[in-house]
Chain A
């Protein structure tokens, strides 16, 4: 990461700790009748470390400005494209949310097909086999253990067939 990103993160953390001081602790801790001492203590630690982090971030930013063309003086790596992780987050979120309505088997089938494409799967057949087999195996293991996974049309059909 470059110095500017480090400074932004430090800013967000300082902002969060101020929000915690002036809004979250009074409304979510004190108003509920709990002692604010420990949350205050931890929040003060966060504020102090974030300020120290910002201080070093400023020092780093100055170094980078001096180095100008080089611009690598305080680089800590990272900054890669986040498209695939974001896509995974969205797909996993959609899977988790749809599980209650579609049931475990269908939602997991769809999730595995899409997720394997995100991870660059080139073979449809292998992805299809895994997407069918994995949810079914997990479903039957849970059924044997008498534990319930979210149910939908596929599970109801299986229940109807197996009784």
Chain B
């Protein structure tokens, strides 16, 4: 424990510079703006910024991306409250109570509850990350190739089991994963250095670039999806204004905090736990926390009509996911969410491979990141978010979508080109963007594809190394108790999920269809 505090102090000395704090503020501003625009999620903004982080200092780049992620996580609640249109999928749960509260003239109360719930959830999750990552990283160092391969298989299965409402969605999720694994095999074989699936094109020898794939599959496919919706986006009767605004007094703040404290604590831990498991994500966490708050409330609770716990619980839950989703990345080098995958890319761009070795070899960077994460919530919430609420309101009302989305395409293309200054990459980018669009039209989820694409080379290397060690005997995966346990868990998760989908789970608060990615 004492060692952790020493490292934290060293990290603080290393990381707390004016530049890094500026990066957090800039990132939070970008995140708030991106998170408030429907169709553009914080991850999309992270993806757009990613290729430009090549020339930045490691902690500056990571702080910038973390600021965007955290800013985006909060911003969704602003438009959810003011217009009943969640800027991010996870804010859909918040809207159930924040919009009714806004309609009652309690705009300030609603937005502030969302804000301090975000800070509370984020801080609990940050502290869990700080104190669980070091022991987990030590355990991770003892894992061999069969255990790592089994762990990746388990992670990929965990991503799938939460997708969709039917068995068909499960199969589509697995197909998405195998397509991601296949794309990752393009280029030089990472063990024998011979070419695979390159069709004689030398530009493909290094494989399909990681940044390009993420931008194409997430951002460009989203632009194509938005092109279908031209003219359909209106604010409707959500005018974003009410006739009277009730002031929010300090006495009321204190009363609300005491009233919501139990739900805040529970949601922060539930969100942190769900975030640490690969693939679950903030949207599920927000709805689970909302459901738990509603379930544990008394019968006279006003859920759905502006209950403060209906805002505090999902906000604390979804913000808790942000930091804890970094636990698998930092301790095992396995990104458990798309945002963590983008962070993985940012580390790679800086020449660092996330995982236990990075924590052992460069503790100042990892602990510096922890310190910055802790201050991001406070700095972002109280320095950036509160003054930015009216700005977000204006942007949301006046944004010209017909100019915005073509601009996004230009940013994507320039970002991809700037990575290697290679026009050939733009052709792959365009192709993958359209493949992403078709996959989404077919009801296939993109995050599993991206996670599989990133984890593919690690899975292949470890699977083949394990087979080499055992003279090509697959029994090596069964002989190791950890690998066997993980494989059983993966099969059990798949079996449970198929059974649940066949049976049709009842009584569970489901994520609305329109908010599923």
- Contact partners of B191 in chain A: CB under 8 A: 35
Asked if A9 is at the interface (CB within 8 A of a chain B CB), the reply is yes
- Contact partners of B433 in chain A: CB under 8 A: 89, 92
The answer to whether A149 touches B417 (Cβ under 8 A) is yes
The answer to whether B225 touches A85 (Cβ under 8 A) is yes
The answer to whether B409 touches A56 (Cβ under 8 A) is no
Q: Which of B175, B192, B195 contacts A49 (CB 8 A)?
A: B175
The answer to whether A29 touches B228 (Cβ under 8 A) is no
Asked if B255 is at the interface (CB within 8 A of a chain A CB), the reply is no
Q: Mark A87-119, 1 if CB is under 8 A from B, else 0.
A: 111001101110110000000100110011011
Q: Which of B55, B175, B437, B463 contacts A53 (CB 8 A)?
A: B175
Asked if B202 is at the interface (CB within 8 A of a chain A CB), the reply is no
The answer to whether B194 touches A32 (Cβ under 8 A) is yes
The answer to whether A34 touches B189 (Cβ under 8 A) is yes
Q: Mark B452-473, 1 if CB is under 8 A from A, else 0.
A: 0000000010011001000000
Closest beta carbon of chain A to B47's beta carbon, Å: 17
The answer to whether A46 touches B224 (Cβ under 8 A) is no
Q: Number of A residues whose C-beta is below 8 Å from B?
A: 70
Asked if B104 is at the interface (CB within 8 A of a chain A CB), the reply is no
Asked if B19 is at the interface (CB within 8 A of a chain A CB), the reply is no
User: A28 and B224 in contact (CB under 8 A), knowing A53-B175, A77-B513, A116-B403?
Assistant: no
Nearest neighbor of A78 in chain B, beta-carbon distance = B441
What CA separation (Å) do A41 and B153 show in the bound complex? 13
Interface pick from A64-72, A126-134, A153-161: A126-134
The answer to whether B178 touches A32 (Cβ under 8 A) is no
The answer to whether A45 touches B225 (Cβ under 8 A) is no
- Contact partners of B441 in chain A: CB under 8 A: 78, 82
The answer to whether A39 touches B174 (Cβ under 8 A) is no
The answer to whether A42 touches B178 (Cβ under 8 A) is yes
The answer to whether B224 touches A138 (Cβ under 8 A) is no
Closest beta carbon of chain A to B245's beta carbon, Å: 33
Total A-B contacts with CB atoms under 8 angstroms apart: 170
Nearest neighbor of B514 in chain A, beta-carbon distance = A77
Q: Which of B167, B175, B401, B423 has the most CB of A within 10 A?
A: B175
Interface pick from B125-133, B179-187, B276-284, B297-305: B179-187
Nearest neighbor of B175 in chain A, beta-carbon distance = A49
Q: Which of A37, A88, A108, A126 contacts B223 (CB 8 A)?
A: A88
What CA separation (Å) do A64 and B332 show in the bound complex? 46
Closest beta carbon of chain A to B233's beta carbon, Å: 10
Asked if B399 is at the interface (CB within 8 A of a chain A CB), the reply is no
Q: Which of A35, A60, A80, A93 has the most CB of B within 10 A?
A: A35
Closest beta carbon of chain A to B195's beta carbon, Å: 5
- Contact partners of A43 in chain B: CB under 8 A: 178, 182
What CA separation (Å) do A100 and B424 show in the bound complex? 11
Asked if B197 is at the interface (CB within 8 A of a chain A CB), the reply is yes
The answer to whether A35 touches B409 (Cβ under 8 A) is no
Asked if A1 is at the interface (CB within 8 A of a chain B CB), the reply is yes
Closest beta carbon of chain A to B468's beta carbon, Å: 10
Q: Which of B401, B421, B437 contacts A119 (CB 8 A)?
A: B401
Nearest neighbor of B186 in chain A, beta-carbon distance = A28
What CA separation (Å) do A46 and B172 show in the bound complex? 10
The answer to whether A92 touches B430 (Cβ under 8 A) is yes
Asked if B196 is at the interface (CB within 8 A of a chain A CB), the reply is yes
- Contact partners of B429 in chain A: CB under 8 A: 96
The answer to whether B437 touches A85 (Cβ under 8 A) is yes
What CA separation (Å) do A57 and B406 show in the bound complex? 37
- Contact partners of B405 in chain A: CB under 8 A: 115, 119
The answer to whether B413 touches A96 (Cβ under 8 A) is yes
What CA separation (Å) do A96 and B426 show in the bound complex? 7
- Contact partners of B426 in chain A: CB under 8 A: 96, 99
What CA separation (Å) do A111 and B433 show in the bound complex? 17
User: A42 and B421 in contact (CB under 8 A), knowing A77-B513, A78-B443, A119-B230?
Assistant: no
What CA separation (Å) do A149 and B400 show in the bound complex? 27
The answer to whether A76 touches B443 (Cβ under 8 A) is yes
The answer to whether A88 touches B196 (Cβ under 8 A) is no
Q: Which of A41, A52, A78, A96 contacts B442 (CB 8 A)?
A: A78
The answer to whether B194 touches A120 (Cβ under 8 A) is no
Asked if A162 is at the interface (CB within 8 A of a chain B CB), the reply is no
The answer to whether A50 touches B168 (Cβ under 8 A) is no
- Contact partners of A130 in chain B: CB under 8 A: 403, 406-407
The answer to whether B410 touches A88 (Cβ under 8 A) is no
27 contacts between A and B (CB under 8 A): A6-B168, A29-B196, A33-B194, A34-B192, A34-B196, A35-B464, A37-B467, A38-B464, A42-B181, A42-B182, A43-B178, A45-B174, A53-B175, A76-B169, A85-B227, A85-B437, A89-B430, A96-B426, A97-B427, A108-B410, A111-B409, A119-B227, A119-B403, A127-B402, A138-B414, A142-B418, A147-B418
Closest 10 CB pairs of A and B: A115-B406, A121-B402, A53-B171, A119-B402, A85-B224, A84-B227, A34-B194, A33-B194, A46-B178, A49-B174
B residues near A, CB below 8 A? 55, 166-169, 171-172, 174-175, 178-179, 181-182, 185, 189, 191-192, 194-199, 223-228, 230-231, 400-403, 405-407, 409-410, 413-414, 417-418, 421, 423, 426-427, 429-430, 433-434, 437, 441-443, 460, 463-464, 467, 513
Task: Add 20 more A-B contacts to A39-B182, A89-B224 (CB < 8 A).
Answer: A5-B442, A37-B464, A42-B181, A49-B174, A49-B178, A50-B175, A53-B172, A76-B166, A80-B228, A81-B228, A82-B228, A85-B224, A96-B430, A100-B423, A116-B402, A119-B230, A120-B230, A130-B407, A135-B410, A149-B414
A residues near B, CB below 8 A? 1, 5-6, 9, 13, 20, 24, 28-29, 32-35, 37-39, 41-43, 45-46, 49-50, 52-53, 56-57, 60, 74, 76-78, 80-82, 84-85, 87-89, 92-93, 95-97, 99-100, 108, 111-112, 115-116, 118-123, 126-127, 130, 134-135, 138, 142, 145, 147-150
